[in-house]
Amino acid sequence: MLKLENVSKFYYNKGVITSGFTKVNLEFKIGEFVVITGESGSGKSTLLNVISGLDSYEEGEMYINGKETSHYTEKDFEDYRRKYIANIFQSFNLVNSYTVYQNVELVLLLNGYKKHEVKKKILEIIEQVGLTKFKNTKVSKLSGGQKQRVAIARAMVKDTPIIVADEPTGNLDSKSASEVIEILKKVAKDKLVIIVTHNIEQVERYATRIIKMNDGRIIENNEIKKIEEKEIKRSHYNNISIFNKYRLGFRNTFNIATKFLLLFIVFLFISSAMLAEYASFQMSEAEIVDTGYSIAFRDLSENRILINKNNRKFFTTDDYNKIKQIPNVDYIVEDDIFLDSGTALSRNDYSLYGYLQEISNFKGNIDVGRMPEKENEIILQIRKDHYLIKEQLNEVLNKTYSVLKTVGINAYSNEKIKDLIIVGIQYSYENNYDIKFYVSKSVLNDLRNQMNKNYSKMKVFFNNKYQQYAVEPNDKVKKGEAIVDDDFKYEYNYYRIIGKPLNIYVSNTYYNDELDLTISNTYTKYNFERRTGLENYDSNRYTIYINKDEYNSLYNKPSYQSSVFVKNVDEIDDTVNELEKLGLSAKKVTDFKINEGQTYQIIIKIIKVVVTIILIAVLFFISYLIIRIILKSRNIYYTTLRMLGATYKTVRRILDIELFINSTLSYGTLLLFSYLVKTNIIHLEYIAKLSNFLSLREYVLMYIILVLMSRLISRKFARKLFKNTAINTYKEEV
């Protein structure tokens, strides 16, 4: 069955050639119990490794079932070991973190058996070696004799025609050694058992043949009992199933807590380093972009689109409903004038200056206080490090603030427009220090009138020319009429002013309007109060008084310009096209930005790409070195898998799965941490700031890179395990 003709094994080390054994000629049959003995260094273990396919040979020929093996590649020897050889090692080569059952099961899983197919067989073998009550005990807790029994059970369950054992009793007491040999003798009835030992007395009475070696040569080949040639039955096997690969990979991930924790920390460090580096460059790039400015617009958010109707008419509810149907639209700010014009909320001796937003656009949670329930209740969004929050929070929350006529530009007055109550506060973690007020739609409508007034120009036309006079609303004036200062009569012939026409024109960026009135009366300082109902006549200020409702109609207008904010900035151009299809004029607000840092922005982008590539490369090699050190404790495990029949692809795949699970768990933990920081459950301001510069795309990309790195590490590590013969790799690690 197994034949060696003039087989020699040599070792090469730094130009020096040494002999393992020389010109060995042997033939073995099924049913033999062969004992190879000799002094240490005689070559007996080397011979056993060559026979078992764990090591190569350089000279002669070894036949298995009459077939030559000198041309075998390492892959061929893997196939040979799986079909014909079961090993029992002197140092057991068991997985200490596995139970007795799992160690025996391991060899069957590697050889393509399914879990449900092997249970009965494994339990029978464990019973045969007397370890039934220890089947769920971890091997690390067993005695030396018990461990050797597990090794024998593992060899038996593989059911190969050849069992080779290297010093199987070398670490055992005499009683345990005798029990182990008895078990091997029973196995030898229908198998070829080859034992290497230096203690011939323990096995001599069981042997059918004793071979003695000295200095790499056979000096005695004594056949004690004649064995008839039997039919050889090689072991049948399949490739390991995907399910079993994942089973072993998952089991290996968690079976040693220290190893798992160290790998988890390494992958967590890699993930954090990559995300932090990329986010830092994104933030630097954004800061350069933010340095741009616009004369017309304050809010230069890159996801903002300005919209007007091409027919210059105001927006209707139907218009907004159509806009909301566009997939990339996040929300609409109907009165976008408030995005670019600040509003002052005053109380006692201080004011809060910020920007108005409709409450329907509020996102996130309230950090202090509650959500508004009434029309005049509002939410304040402000940085947590603002001095009012740090020092006077109780003086801010649930207090009444007055909106003055300081809305917009070129407007100043101590006159109140509206009283508002701050009932909720949300902390802001944005780069800027802008304050936002989230108010009801009715409040925005009221303030829009004042905003329109502040941004509009008014002209008065009478006596065939335009005049710059103040116009004020008055309850005592009827519609269609106007009351003017009596001095206006000097503008007309014969001082006839009553009944003369007076036209008022209002214009701003968004609309034009006019009133056609008739001068119905005049006032002097003597009848001023009676005609207008007002006090304090000012002789230096010529004021025209008109009907209050008509006056308000000049400014009480719906929105003529709004802003759309998109979800995905990368698709903003497509969104602009969709808006234009609705008959709208749509412009990105960034088109109006004057940015003097574009050159720096390009440089930052180039540096970001280069540094990211370098960082990934550096992290890969550092992580490989660290993970290699961590996995060094597992080298024996993976080498043992190889000896038990696992191929390069199998070992690599199991290692792939183990590192994939580790990397995924670490990355998932990092994402959870980022979420907790971003939602302010964990208060780390700088990290929250960085996380704002990472989109879902970046998170997915970094995860893909991390998984690819773990796969490259596993492949590199697996190649190292298979770059030499199985026994040499094992010796390197031992």
- The beta strand positions in 267-326, using DSSP E, are 304-309
d(CA 51, CA 209): 16
Q: Please choose, from the candidates 211, 214, 219, 220, the residue with its C-alpha nearest in 3D space to the C-alpha of residue 43.
A: 214
Mean pLDDT, residues 292-309 taken together: 84
**Is the pLDDT at 582 greater than 90, yes or no?**
yes
The reply to whether 100 and 233 lie within a common domain is: yes
191 to 29, 187, 229, 231: CA distances (angstroms): 8, 7, 11, 10
Cβ neighbours for 161, distance < 8 A, ≥ 6 positions apart = 1, 30, 84, 191, 192, 232, 233, 234, 235
Torsion, Cα 130 135 138 141, to 10 degrees, reads -30
Residue that is written with structure tokens 């300082």 in the block: 525
Task: Specify the pLDDT at position 324.
Answer: 93
Residue 465 within any structural domain of the chain: yes
The reply to whether 61 and 132 lie within a common domain is: yes
Residue span of the structural domain in which 360 resides: 340-437
Classified as helix, coil or strand, 712 is helix
- Lowest-confidence segment of 86-95, 151-160, 427-436, 617-626 by average pLDDT: 427-436
Which ranges of 325-378 does DSSP label H, i.e. alpha helix? 337-340
The reply to whether 611 and 636 lie within a common domain is: yes
Which carries the bigger pLDDT value, residue 603 or residue 398? 398
Task: Specify the pLDDT at position 407.
Answer: 43
Residue 445 within any structural domain of the chain: no
Mean pLDDT, residues 690-718 taken together: 88
Task: Specify the pLDDT at position 412.
Answer: 45
- Lowest-confidence segment of 245-259, 317-331, 574-588 by average pLDDT: 245-259
Both tokens assigned to 381: 């969004």
Q: Please choose, from the candidates 73, 46, 231, 235, the residue with its C-alpha nearest in 3D space to the C-alpha of residue 159.
A: 235
Mean pLDDT, residues 182-201 taken together: 84
> How many independent structural domains does the chain possess?
5
Task: Report which residue type is found at 685.
Answer: E
The reply to whether 517 and 546 lie within a common domain is: yes
Both tokens assigned to 619: 């992290």
d(CA 247, CA 234): 27
d(CA 730, CA 718): 13
Q: Please choose, from the candidates 367, 348, 532, 343, the residue with its C-alpha nearest in 3D space to the C-alpha of residue 434.
A: 343
Residue 346 within any structural domain of the chain: yes
Task: Report which residue type is found at 352.
Answer: L
The reply to whether 568 and 693 lie within a common domain is: no
Task: Specify the pLDDT at position 231.
Answer: 66
Task: Specify the pLDDT at position 477.
Answer: 94
Cβ(623)–Cβ(262) below 8 Å: no
Mean pLDDT, residues 2-26 taken together: 88
Q: Which of 489, 522, 553 is the last residue of a domain?
A: 553
Cβ-based burial of 357 (10 A; exposed 0-12, middle 13-18, buried ≥19): buried
Classified as helix, coil or strand, 7 is strand
Q: What is the pTM of this model?
A: 0.58
User: Measured on CA atoms in the order 155, 161, 166, 171, is the torsion positive or negative?
Assistant: positive
Q: Please choose, from the candidates 94, 52, 91, the residue with its C-alpha nearest in 3D space to the C-alpha of residue 69.
A: 52
Mean pLDDT, residues 232-244 taken together: 75
Return the axis-axis angle of helices 174-187 and 144-158, rounded to nearest 10°. Answer: 10
Q: Please choose, from the candidates 655, 620, 619, 662, the residue with its C-alpha nearest in 3D space to the C-alpha of residue 638.
A: 655
d(CA 396, CA 346): 11
- The beta strand positions in 312-383, using DSSP E, are 329-333, 343-347, 350-358, 368-369, 377-383
Classified as helix, coil or strand, 344 is strand
Task: Specify the pLDDT at position 408.
Answer: 43
Q: Specify which of 220-229, 431-440, 519-528 reaches the highest per-range mean pLDDT.
A: 519-528
The reply to whether 276 and 323 lie within a common domain is: no
Cβ(263)–Cβ(659) below 8 Å: yes
Residue 446 within any structural domain of the chain: no
Q: Which of 499, 524, 553 is the last residue of a domain?
A: 553
Q: Which of 408, 437, 466 is the last residue of a domain?
A: 437
Mean pLDDT, residues 142-158 taken together: 87
d(CA 370, CA 392): 18
Cβ-based burial of 267 (10 A; exposed 0-12, middle 13-18, buried ≥19): buried
d(CA 115, CA 603): 58
Residue 316 within any structural domain of the chain: yes
Which ranges of 345-440 does DSSP label H, i.e. alpha helix? 387-392
The reply to whether 575 and 480 lie within a common domain is: no
Task: Specify the pLDDT at position 347.
Answer: 84
Which carries the bigger pLDDT value, residue 187 or residue 103? 103
Residue 662 within any structural domain of the chain: yes
The pLDDT tens digits of the residues spanning 102-140 come to 999 988 888 888 877 888 889 988 988 889 999 999 999
- Lowest-confidence segment of 1-5, 236-240, 651-655 by average pLDDT: 236-240
Both tokens assigned to 59: 């000279």
The reply to whether 41 and 142 lie within a common domain is: yes
Return the axis-axis angle of helices 242-254 and 257-290, rounded to nearest 10°. Answer: 90
Task: Specify the pLDDT at position 232.
Answer: 64
Residue 294 within any structural domain of the chain: no
Mean pLDDT, residues 529-552 taken together: 89
The reply to whether 175 and 90 lie within a common domain is: yes
Mean pLDDT, residues 18-33 taken together: 90
Give 232's DSSP letter.
-
**Is the pLDDT at 413 greater than 60, yes or no?**
no
The reply to whether 181 and 49 lie within a common domain is: yes
Q: How many residues does the chain have?
A: 734
Task: Specify the pLDDT at position 726.
Answer: 64
Q: Please choose, from the candidates 547, 488, 491, the residue with its C-alpha nearest in 3D space to the C-alpha of residue 523.
A: 488
Residue 298 within any structural domain of the chain: no
Give 293's DSSP letter.
B
277 backbone dihedrals φ, ψ, rounded to 5°:
-65, -45
**Is the pLDDT at 540 greater than 80, yes or no?**
no
The reply to whether 50 and 185 lie within a common domain is: yes
The reply to whether 491 and 612 lie within a common domain is: no
- Lowest-confidence segment of 251-255, 616-620, 641-645 by average pLDDT: 641-645
Longest dimension (CA), the chain: 153
> Tell me, what CATH number does 219's domain have?
3.40.50.300
d(CA 80, CA 86): 11
Task: Specify the pLDDT at position 410.
Answer: 40
**Considering the chain, what percentage of its residues have pLDDT values greater than 70?**
93
Q: Which letter, b or e, does each residue of 587-602 get, where b requires 16 or more Cβ atoms within 10 Å of its Cβ?
A: bbbbeebebebeebbe
Average pLDDT, the chain: 85
The pLDDT tens digits of the residues spanning 331-368 come to 999 888 888 888 888 887 778 888 888 998 898 899 99
**Is the pLDDT at 508 greater than 60, yes or no?**
yes
